[in-house]
Amino acid sequence: MIPQLIQSIKNFRKRNLQLIAEVLVAFDMVRILGTMVSGGAVRMKHTDGIGVLEYVELSLPEIEALEREKTVFLMSVSPIEAHGPHLPVGTDVFIASELLNRYVSELKKNHPELTLVKLPSLYVGSDAVPAPGSLSVPATHLEGILTAYGEGLAKQGFRYLFIADNHGGPRHQMAIEAAARKLWKKRRFYLIDPFGLVFRYMVQHDPNFMRRTGLGPGECGDSPDSHAGTNETSLMLACCPEKVRRNYKEVEPSLPPPLRGGAAFVAFLGRLIYSLGGRKLGRDLQDPLAYTLAWVSDPDMKPYMGGPAKASKEAGEAMLVARVEVAMELFEKALQSGGKEPVHIEPMLWGIRLLRKFP
């Protein structure tokens, strides 16, 4: 009788240990899958209450569990760059990060079925303002990094990488779009940076965009306000006011210098090309390129352009809202197409994009 009782206890313990092991395995699988039925995963950050995954915090099984057709990656990309005496050198990425958070909120609101994954911010960009504090990389390097990131995601079966950017350097924007077109041609992969289009709207006073912002010339990020002036200071007041130096209202305006030398020649060339039918390139050469060359070649150049003292949180918020609207229109095209049609952007000076190959 006693041996039978001992054997029964052993069998009971064995069955229960197996049951416990099975429960633990099942629990671990649920943890790995990250409750995908709710479109999320265990490692969540929150943007205005919206869940978003952090790529660097995911394990390989968690990445493998992501639904390829319904996962969108997002990343901020901009250089470290001097922004006058009143804004930090990380200004472009700080603004881009705010835009990215708003992209997340809008995408989740419009597409709750999507899983959104953030990649770490990329503090890299080309054609940073040539002033102490700026760290610029050749456009070919930026193009290579973004192409490699896109390739890495595409090889895993993913389709979308949406970029938040706040840098208007011409070769910077050329490099991003060049990477985007390579990825589309080879992989049918969407890399989209809305700022390539938004910057054109700002510089050339697109009527619809100007109505959206309610802003006028000289305060919308156009050539007289191109860098750390009214527009960018307003954006910083809207997204991270604690990073704006208190003396910003005391900073004197920086005005565009006269077009001389090479800048004058580029403006002349732009007028000539425009008259011969090359309207888009001709216009781009005159504005912004000629004005930018005049500014950065000025021996008395200040590391900002525009009037920071006129900045306001309200103007920054209006600009952010308008930029998010443009971005959502582009993202929606990609999501609706699902790999059938490209979403190409033609940034400023795209007609001479070979310039990105030069140092």
pLDDT of residue 226: 97
CA 177, 178, 180 angle in degrees (round to 5)? 60
Average pLDDT of the chain to the nearest whole number: 90
Do 284 and 337 fall into the same domain? no
Residues 263 and 340 in one domain: no
For residues 176 and 239, state if they share a domain.
Answer: yes
Residue whose entry in the numeric block shows the structure tokens 């609706």: 336
Instruction: Say if 85 falls within a structural domain.
Output: yes
In-domain check, residue 38? no
Residues with pLDDT less than 70, the chain: 1-50
Tell me how far apart the alpha carbons of residues 274 and 285 are, in angstroms, rounded to a whole number. 9
CATH (domain of 170): 3.40.50.10310
Per-residue pLDDT, 48: 46
103 to 94, 114, 252, 274: CA distances (angstroms) = 14, 13, 34, 36
Dist CA 297 CA 351 (whole Å): 23
In a domain, 39, yes or no: no
Residue 148 sits in the same domain as residue 296: no
Are residues 347 and 264 located together in one domain of the fold?
A: no
Q: Are 240 and 348 within one domain?
A: yes
Same domain, 289 and 173: no
Integer-rounded Cα Rg, in Å, for the chain is 25
Measure the CA–CA gap between 169 and 171, rounded to whole angstroms. Answer: 6
Partners of 164 in the β-ladder:
76
Domain span at residue 278? 255-301
Would residue 189 count as lying in a domain? yes
- Residues with Cβ within 8 Å of 266's Cβ and at least 6 positions away in sequence, in order, are 285, 286, 289, 290, 293
CA proximity to 274, closest of 204, 176, 177, 198? 204
How many domains is the chain built from?
3
| 110 located within any domain | yes
CA atoms within 13 A on the CB side of 225: 25
pLDDT of residue 359: 87
